[in-house]
Amino acid sequence: MLDQTDFVFLPGFMCDDRLFAAVSQALSRAGQTCLSGDLSSHDTIKALATATLDISPRSFALVGLSMGGIVALEMHRQAPERISHLALLNTTYRADRAGPTRLKQLERVRQGELDLVLRDELKPNYMHPDNRSQERLDLLARMAGTLGEEVFERQTRALMQRENYADQLGRIDCPTLVLTGADDEVCPPEVHCEMAKRISGSELQIVPQCGHLSALEQPDAVTSALLALVGSQVCSDTPLPQTQTA
């Protein structure tokens, strides 16, 4: 019998719990409990982290992808004793460097061009070319459409104002997974190598044929890595991606 773990998932920019649907379902079949955080209601990383901690179990494994990974780092800063395991997927520890681009996108969205911004500037960078099925593209559009223009503005402001978490990485002492796609153009593998080096004892995994949305593009690999992180037997025939210990 596998030990039961409470997982809390934090989605990326303009995504919701559907981003992790396949991973959550697989973990649930393995006897794990999966909860999803809501990153739509505040316009700072600190406030999002606090709000998520308020609704999370006393102790839990925290999984954050992209923007969710940034919030996860802030959650660890605020309450490290509550996070039993940490998984940072397709994310970064750095302060924002895309302010001018984000402001231009925000202006377009205010003019009613949310769909066009997603189509022209965001979606092309999210996934490996082989993974850009119409089904996945439609899902991205539905998630963004559900969240809408106001959430786009709140999340954009949160990302623009975020801190650099380099110092926090050295304070992480729970079992930690740093995972990204080999072809992630948004948060490249080099950034994840830097994070893994700064987090003592962390495990770095680079998933082949995968871009920025690993949980959507390669859910079997992500599921296997998360089960391994919490000490469960990997219940998948999918081989683990490239692994390094920092």
For residue range 163-175, list pLDDT tens digits in order.
Answer: 999 999 999 999 9
Judge whether 108 lies within some domain. no
Judge whether 195 lies within some domain. yes
**More confident: 238 or 133:** 133
Judge whether 143 lies within some domain. no
CATH number of residue 14's parent domain? 3.40.50.1820
pLDDT for 122: 72
Judge whether 109 lies within some domain. no
Q: What are the tokens at 30? A: 């393995």
Judge whether 182 lies within some domain. yes
Judge whether 107 lies within some domain. no
Judge whether 151 lies within some domain. no
Instruction: Give how many domains the chain has, as a whole number.
Output: 1
Judge whether 32 lies within some domain. yes
Task: Name the residue range of residue 195's domain.
Answer: 6-96+160-245
Asked if residue 245 has pLDDT above 90, the reply is: no
pLDDT for 171: 97
pLDDT for 2: 52
- SS3 of the chain: the string is CCCCCEEEEECCCCCCHHHHHHHHHHHHHCCCEEEECCCCCCCCHHHHHHHHHHCCCCCEEEEEECHHHHHHHHHHHHCHHHEEEEEEECCCCCCCCCHHHHHHHHHHHHCCCHHHHHHHHHHHHHCCHHHCCHHHHHHHHHHHHHHHHHHHHHHHHHHHCCCCCHHHHCCCCCCEEEEEECCCCCCCHHHHHHHHHHCCCCEEEEECCCCCCHHHHCHHHHHHHHHHHCCCCCCCCCCCCEEEEC
